[in-house]
A and B are shown apart, each in its own frame.
Chain A
Amino acid sequence: MKGPIPEIPAPIWRNFKDLQEWELLHKTRPVDDKHSVLFESVTEGIHSFPGGFVVTTAADAFLNWARKSSVWPVTFGLACCAIEMMATFCSRFDVERLGMVPWASPRHSDLMIVSGTVTIKMAPMLLRIYEQMPDPKWAVSMGSCANSGGPFRHGYHVVKGVDRVIPVDVYVPGCPPPPESLLNGLLLLQEQIKHFKRTGQRAAPNEKVD
């Protein structure tokens, strides 16, 4: 018996054609995300007791609190927003207060802040780095270039927004967004992680929305 799927709040941009599919992808549970047999039997056992859900949701809250308070961003700077991201990582707008240690390798990090313009030559690299990050992982699109191509949207070599390459959780507007608005985006991400599903539910990016 699987727990109830949380209702994702209705976003304002739901009428855009591309993003409907993306949202659909986000809501459907990946069929191949199975769990170890031992865990399934243990949770079945707990749920059979009256009030069993309380135990699992409490465990969820604890796990999500742990995930939320130590999200490690991979230092993935592309363009001008990377300089503002560096300013956010430094001592004046310190992200280490939020438990975020800027880490160089995607193998040890949970969050990818796409700061800068994603070009067609860079997109496969960006996808490879995102795939090489261990699950559960999140993506923050920083700056209007990553959100929608920004001032270079009509360039032939520019991908019109990073959500055509990887699923994005939080969009931070601005060109470049000042560190305060990036911090606001990261806090929004931490809010989102709080409602994280029990078993680390994250839509596997198996097919990209084009």
Chain B
Amino acid sequence: MSPDDARSAIGARFSGAEVGTGTPLMVTVAPGHWAELAGFAKETLGCCFFSFLTAVDWKEQGLEVVAKVDNLDDGLAVMMKTRLGPGVSTCASLTPIYRGANWMERECWDMFGIRFDGHPDLRRILLEDTWEGHPLLKSYAVDTPHPPYR
């Protein structure tokens, strides 16, 4: 599965997706197709290696979830992106498709406050459960004092 016929397969399947060129194949889809794209990448494109999943806070344009999956046999790398839209903070979960997404999505919930529906147990992974606020949002100051240890 070389990059260009992967690009054509994605183009055929997801009409609304813009597919970029370059080594990691950038695929941006609407949030509705997110889980569908991941399933598609795993079955037809053969990308069963789950590299990572994270989010980016674009201030007014809202949050963007980024995930990267690789096809180890042909060296194909697909970077999947979806823009959640301003004010929206829920997204479809990839854990049923890739088990590696479990901890990564818990970290995204912990750091960005994105609720992944369909995730088995969505709770904070890096910070304590009593922590309020999601630190990696741009609105969160770097050195926010937290009692009791200022």
Contacts and interface: CB of A to CB of B under 8 A. Distances in A.
Interface of A: 120-121, 123, 154-157, 159-160, 164-165, 208, 210
Contacts of B99: none
A199 B72 CA distance: 67
Interface of A, helix, strand, loop or mixed by DSSP: loop
A165 B143 contact: no
B150 A160 contact: yes
A164 to B, nearest CB: 5
Q: How large is the interface on B (under 10, 10 to 19, 20 to 34, 35 or more residues)?
A: 10 to 19
Interface in B111-145: 126-128, 135, 140-144
Contacts of B144: 156
Contacts of A155: 142-143
B149 A120 contact: yes
Nearest to A159: B149
A132 B149 CA distance: 21
Contacts of B146: 120, 156-157
A120 B124 CA distance: 14
Interface in B43-80: none
A164 B127 contact: no
B48 to A, nearest CB: 34
Contacts of B126: 157
Contacts of B87: none
Interface of B: 126-128, 135, 140-144, 146, 148-150
10 contacts: A155-B143, A156-B135, A156-B140, A156-B141, A157-B126, A157-B135, A157-B146, A160-B150, A164-B149, A210-B149
Given A120-B128, A164-B150, A210-B149, 19 more contacts: A120-B146, A121-B128, A123-B149, A154-B142, A155-B142, A155-B143, A156-B140, A156-B141, A156-B143, A156-B146, A157-B127, A157-B135, A157-B146, A160-B149, A160-B150, A164-B149, A165-B149, A208-B148, A210-B150
A164 B149 CA distance: 7
A185 B140 CA distance: 38
Nearest to A208: B148
A205 to B, nearest CB: 14
A159 B149 CA distance: 6
Contacts of A160: 149-150
Contacts of B149: 120, 123, 159-160, 164-165, 210
A160 B144 CA distance: 12
Nearest to B128: A121
Contacts of A208: 148
> Top 5 closest A-B pairs, CB basis?
A159-B149, A154-B143, A156-B144, A164-B149, A121-B128
Nearest to B141: A156
A165 B150 CA distance: 11
A210 B147 CA distance: 9
B107 to A, nearest CB: 13
